[in-house]
């Protein structure tokens, strides 16, 4: 997800381009303003923590771009590309290392496990919104596809 700060700063194209350039397939994408109830479901594991209310206020403050990404080890690869949650710990060359300064406005969100990805995808997308297709360059990206 490109978060509200990333959208407001015009970074959608930069973020999408990095994933696509790496060989990650975009299977679904949409822009939306997250309703408070949906945000509360998305971040329910943080309920009761000191930053929860400000997190909900932030993620609902403006539009986001939600995506379903696919590729070999996509979660690990995408999280590596995003960099550490705290941008001050994220290396240059990562999305957060290049574009963010503070944890509370760190441009992107990515699922941390297959279980989280499944849950979050189900929150934001219907089955018909997720496309299955083969990129023309997949034989050049993946072992054993040529």
Go through the domains of the chain in sequence order and give each one's CATH number. 4-133 (3.30.70.141)
Residues tagged active-site? 109
CA–CA distance, 129 with 123 (Å, rounded to integer): 12
* The dihedral sign for the CA sequence 107, 111, 117, 123: negative
> pLDDT at position 115, please?
97
* Eight-state DSSP code of residue 2: B
| Mean pLDDT in residue range 26-39 | 98
Place of tokens 């379903």: 68
Average pLDDT along the chain? 96
Task: Kindly tell me if the per-residue pLDDT of 132 is higher than 90.
Answer: yes
Q: Give the model's confidence band at 5: pLDDT under 50 very low, under 70 low, under 90 confident, else very high.
A: very high
Q: Give the model's confidence band at 143: pLDDT under 50 very low, under 70 low, under 90 confident, else very high.
A: confident
Question: In 25-54, which positions are buried (b, 16+ CB within 10 angstroms) versus exposed (e)?
Answer: bebbbeeeebeeeebbebbeeeeeeeeeee
Q: Give the model's confidence band at 13: pLDDT under 50 very low, under 70 low, under 90 confident, else very high.
A: very high
């Amino acid at each position: 997800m490109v978060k509200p700060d990333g959208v407001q700063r015009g970074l959608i194209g930069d973020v999408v381009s990095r994933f696509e350039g790496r060989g990650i397939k975009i299977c679904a994408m949409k822009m939306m303003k997250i309703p408070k109830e949906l945000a509360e479901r998305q971040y329910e594991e943080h309920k009761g923590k000191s930053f929860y209310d400000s997190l909900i206020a932030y993620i609902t403050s403006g539009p986001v771009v939600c995506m379903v990404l696919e590729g070999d080890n996509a979660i690990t690869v995408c999280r590596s590309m995003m960099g550490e949650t705290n941008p001050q710990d994220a290396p240059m060359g990562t999305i957060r290392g290049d574009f963010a300064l503070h944890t509370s406005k760190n441009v992107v969100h990515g699922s941390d496990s297959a279980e989280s990805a499944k849950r979050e995808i189900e929150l934001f997308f219907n089955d018909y919104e997720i496309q299955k297709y083969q990129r023309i360059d997949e034989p050049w990206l993946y072992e054993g596809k040529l």
